[in-house]
Amino acid sequence: MEFQPSEHYFRVTTACPEVELADINANVKNISELYKEAVLDDSALVVFPELSITGYSIGDVVQNQRLIDEAMRGLRYLRDETINEKTVAVVGLPFVYENGLYNCAAVLADGKIAGIVPKQNMPNYSEFYESRWYQPWQGPNINLTLDDQEVPFGNDLLFDIGGVKMGIEICEDLWVKDPPSVQQAARGAVIIANPSASNELVGKANYRRQLVSMQSAKLVAGYAYASADPSESTTDVVMSGHQIIAENGRIVQERKPLSLDDKRIHTADIDLDHIKHDRIKDNNYTTKLGAQVIKCTVKRPDFEPNPRLVKDPFLPDNEPEVQRNERFDSIIYIQAMGLAKRLKSTNSHKLVLGLSGGLDSTLALLVAVRAADILGRNHADVITTITMPGLASSNRTQNNAQLLAEAVGVKNKVIDIKEIVKSEFKALDHDGQTQDIAYENVQARARTEILFNYANKDGGIVLGTGDLSEIALGWCTYNGDHMNHYNVNSSVPKTLVRHLVRFMSEKTDFAKAQEVLNDILDTPVSPELTGNPDSEITQTTEEIIGPYELHDFFLSHLIRWGDSPEKIKFLASIAFKEDYTDHEIDKWLKLFLRRFTANQFKRSAIPDGPKVGSVALSPRGDWRMPSDMSANLWQ
């Protein structure tokens, strides 16, 4: 199936023209220049600030008839600028109807005034005095006649831009307890435009960011916020030119407040598929009827989208270190709290953990230590680790396992499984030399059997270690490492496991373990089930099933966003363009989809484990899928 990127994205621009107060000609010229930039940038929509044609801070001058007439002349000029263009513009102006003056946003498309939306909520407190000049519109939508054209006027208007519905609220409308955008989104608006004039105060910018991002999250929408430039009047306040574009709770583009740079337009590509996916997924989100929808008679521009992507979608982009560390700490405590509760509810005295010297079992041990702390119990009294060298275990991993257990204050028991495995080979008539699936899985199941039996002996439970990436790929032995009593890593992807272990290695209470944790972080990921005894690691997981950074990217976009394989490949080719060829991405994506589909039977039987993020595969919670589904869907 051919993937047409521009059909899946909506390019939106916010613009911040310089203002000459009450100088309509100068303002229209500045707006026109930025509009042309947005056209050249293939934007479908460009949003200008509140009252951008006249300037916001003109006070009583707004009631002057000459200014009102000139503003309409300026609107007509800008209307004509859009003839034969595919970019829709939202501009602000004062507008008079039946002796009432309204603070309005006009939508201009293909040489027409598609509609005029009046501001609903007038701020009239502190530095704001809008009720002195403007009225809120109290009636239903009406049709005005402007230049022999019928123009819809009212609050219940949505604008269809090439099949994408847009709603408009103006500045204060967002700040009230019941913003108009709530009903607009409920009636099908995917994009909300907000022409604004918000003055700058200490701390207000952060509040504004939170407000815009949270509104886009609540509405499951794109939100384009364009505020007035500092060239507005500074008699009593200073405007900041703050521009924000948000998508589903995430700020994807921003012009910082009081910016001194010359860049006055900011553009982002809103992912329409992601909005649609979340609205379908949320069964409280149903579209209501009622709004008048105006077709803007334009086709969205064709363009090559430039979505804002990160290689690791399980780690927020550009998050400050303090905030990121708080997130990591929260994940560890979610895992540890879940484990502490499971210990109490099962009346278990011990945790039994297979400690391999690899990343996953290392994280599980660190979480177990935190659980013991929560319960106020000595680490050694709660946790028993067992290292079980097999036919291909390396000295490096086995030594690291024992050093780690000692560093965190727990005893490590070594149980060599070689003789157990050989006896089972003999019972199976296996030559013990052919390193096939049976050769590997006999070892994995032997280890699991020991863990369960040891837990029975000590009145404990077996702590699972397998991570979300392995669960997605089915990279585990059924009824081997696949099974446990409780798995604290079940919703932690491999890429995040690595970050969490590094984070914990820097904790002061794990200072004794820092050296061994760093060596574990540098050890190649391997099940160590094939190869030569006592050799260096020869079986590398990522050489067999592909890079985990790719698989985690695929997993996030498939489960969190419901993206098609074609779109996932397109996104991966952008995010990993410096790391993998398109051929490599295609190869590993096909393998991922094939394994993901074929291994649902393992996921259908996985034990309990705490959910820590937005992507999880528990068959009791986030992901229900038949074990015998065909993989043809992904082809």
Q: Which residues pair with residue 523 across a beta bridge?
A: none
* Dist CA 58 CA 81 (whole Å): 26
Is residue 104 classed as helix, strand or coil in its secondary structure?
Answer: strand
A 10 A CB-CB count for 167 gives 28
Residue with tokens 């979505």: 307
- Torsion angle of alpha carbons 446, 447, 449, 451, nearest 10°? 160
CB 255 within 8 A of CB 215: no
* Dist CA 378 CA 616 (whole Å): 32
Q: Report the relative pairing of strands 88-97 and 9-15 from DSSP bridges.
A: unpaired
What is the identity of the amino acid at 442?
V
For residue 311, with 0-12 CB atoms within 10 Å meaning exposed, 13-18 middle and 19 or more buried, which class applies? Answer: middle
Q: Report the relative pairing of strands 486-487 and 460-464 from DSSP bridges.
A: parallel
Show which residues are catalytic.
50, 119, 171
Q: Which residues pair with residue 512 across a beta bridge?
A: none
Phi, psi (degrees; rounded to nearest 5) at 620: -95, -10
Alpha-helical segments (H) within 310-436? 321-345, 359-375, 379-382, 395-407, 418-427
State both tokens at 226.
């364009």
What sign results for the dihedral spanned by CA atoms 332, 400, 409, 378?
positive
